[in-house]
């Protein structure tokens, strides 16, 4: 009985320790140093290198170490096996905490005041009036964000592939629905997964549908956004500001214009980081399910891409 961790570039000591406590007697192996690859039934993966699963001849299932799975599905050598992802109330709470902070940052004009501080400029201004929020993607995280802001009394619109009903949220679908969802929003939050359909989805035509002076927040994936379209929209003043937590290339290259753009707040993909303490319970449960031939929790629809 064995489980493999294929998670490059991360320290895995705590994850191994906590998983071992939940799965005593299970051999936990780490890529690239598999000791008995033929014993592995499930692999926990995140940005796995192409070919890193090939030696696992008895593999039965895959478990993403995060909520998004684009980096897993892009592997041309990915075995055709059930794939589960992390769905966790702690992850959702982290995202809500981040979005609350970003909203407060713009409401209190901290973007403006930090620029003014650099110029030793003493120029008070009353808070921004941000009343209407739009959430693109109404899945686990998007629906929670939309409901959270609706409960706080904001006008909220949301957009997803299939129709939704969420208390206090005006929900839309389709291309026409997208235009309606963003049209009146002072701040638009992107929580769409990266798929074939959403790659470069936020292009210049769609950003043009945003309200004049809107603020854009991307906490989904960098490649959902056409960066040159965003830079043009910020340059023309059509969009007022952008907070970006995710990028096409991460870490963001030193030469990227976002680093020094006065209207852009850059954060290092930290809005909702997988919580090892809570993720291990899901991973252990899916491992047991794999051994018993039961359906995995939080299965990904691989054809849809999320
Ligand atoms: P879900 O899969 O639960 O939800 C995705 C939502 O997007 C669904 O409402 C879905 O519609 C909608 N959607 C997908 N494709 C389309 C489309 N083509 N047109 C319209 N709507 C579409 O994802 P989560 O909420 O769990 O997470 C969203 C993303 O957030 C993840 O994929 C990941 O990339 C990112 N993320 C970022 C983190 C960070 O730290 N920055 C942390 C965690 C996640 P429908 O409901 O109809 O299926
Ligand atoms: C995730 C992420 O998808 O960390 O979980 O971005």
pLDDT digits (tens, 9 = 90+) for 26-70: 999 999 999 999 999 999 999 999 999 999 999 999 999 999 999
Is 161 close to ligand 1, i.e. is its CB under 6 Å away?
yes
Is 135 close to ligand 1, i.e. is its CB under 6 Å away?
no
Catalytic residue numbers read: 221, 269
Residue 67 CA to ligand 1 centre (angstroms)? 9
Percentage of the chain modeled with pLDDT above 90: 99
Task: Identify the bridge partners of residue 60 per DSSP, sorted by sequence position.
Answer: none
Q: Which residues contact 156 (CB under 8 A, 6 or more apart)?
A: 132, 133, 134, 135, 146, 149, 150, 168, 169, 170
pLDDT at 7: 97
Confidence of residue 100 (pLDDT cuts 50, 70, 90): very high
Whether the predicted pLDDT of 290 surpasses 90: yes
Please tell me the distance from the alpha carbon of residue 170 to that of residue 163, in angstroms, as a whole number: 11
Whether the predicted pLDDT of 275 surpasses 90: yes
Mean local confidence (pLDDT), 249-267: 98
End-to-end C-alpha distance for the chain, whole angstroms: 29
Whether the predicted pLDDT of 78 surpasses 90: yes
Mean local confidence (pLDDT), 101-109: 98
Please tell me the distance from the alpha carbon of residue 111 to that of residue 130, in angstroms, as a whole number: 14
pLDDT at 9: 83
Please tell me the distance from the alpha carbon of residue 68 to that of residue 167, in angstroms, as a whole number: 26
pLDDT at 251: 97
pLDDT in tens, 121-155: 999 999 999 999 999 999 999 999 999 999 999 99
pLDDT in tens, 162-200: 999 999 999 999 999 999 999 999 999 999 999 999 999
Mean local confidence (pLDDT), 266-285: 96
| Residue 52 token pair | 């890193």
Is 298 close to ligand 1, i.e. is its CB under 6 Å away?
no
Q: Kindly report the number of other CB atoms within 10 A of residue 252's CB atom.
A: 17
Please tell me the distance from the alpha carbon of residue 253 to that of residue 226, in angstroms, as a whole number: 17
């Amino acid at each position: 009985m064995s489980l493999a961790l294929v998670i490059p570039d991360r320290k895995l000591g705590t994850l191994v320790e906590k998983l071992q406590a939940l799965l005593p007697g299970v051999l936990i192996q780490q890529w690239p140093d598999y000791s008995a690859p033929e014993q592995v039934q499930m692999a926990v993966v995140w940005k796995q290198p192409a070919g890193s699963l090939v030696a696992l001849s008895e593999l039965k299932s895959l478990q993403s170490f995060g909520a998004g799975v684009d980096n897993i599905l892009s592997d041309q050598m990915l075995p055709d096996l059930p794939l589960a992802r992390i769905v966790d109330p702690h992850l959702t709470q982290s995202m809500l905490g981040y979005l609350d902070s970003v909203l407060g940052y713009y409401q209190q004009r901290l973007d403006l005041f930090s620029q003014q501080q650099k110029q030793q400029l003493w120029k008070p201004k009353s808070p921004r009036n941000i009343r209407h929020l739009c959430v693109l993607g109404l899945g686990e995280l998007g629906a929670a964000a939309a409901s959270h802001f609706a409960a706080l009394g904001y006008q909220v619109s949301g957009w997803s592939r299939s129709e939704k009903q969420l208390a206090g949220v005006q929900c839309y679908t389709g291309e026409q629905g997208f235009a309606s969802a963003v049209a009146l929003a002072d701040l638009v939050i992107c929580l769409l997964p990266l798929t074939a359909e959403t790659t470069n989805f936020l292009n210049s035509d769609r950003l043009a549908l945003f309200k004049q002076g809107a603020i854009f927040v991307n906490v989904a994936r960098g490649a959902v956004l056409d960066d040159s379209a965003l830079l043009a929209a910020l340059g023309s003043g059509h969009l007022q500001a952008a907070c970006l937590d995710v990028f096409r290339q991460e870490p963001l290259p030193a030469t990227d214009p976002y680093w020094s753009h006065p209207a852009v707040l850059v954060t290092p993909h930290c809005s909702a980081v997988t919580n090892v303490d809570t993720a291990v319970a899901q991973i252990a449960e899916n491992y047991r399910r794999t051994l018993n031939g039961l359906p995995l929790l939080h299965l990904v629809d691989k054809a849809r891409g999320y």
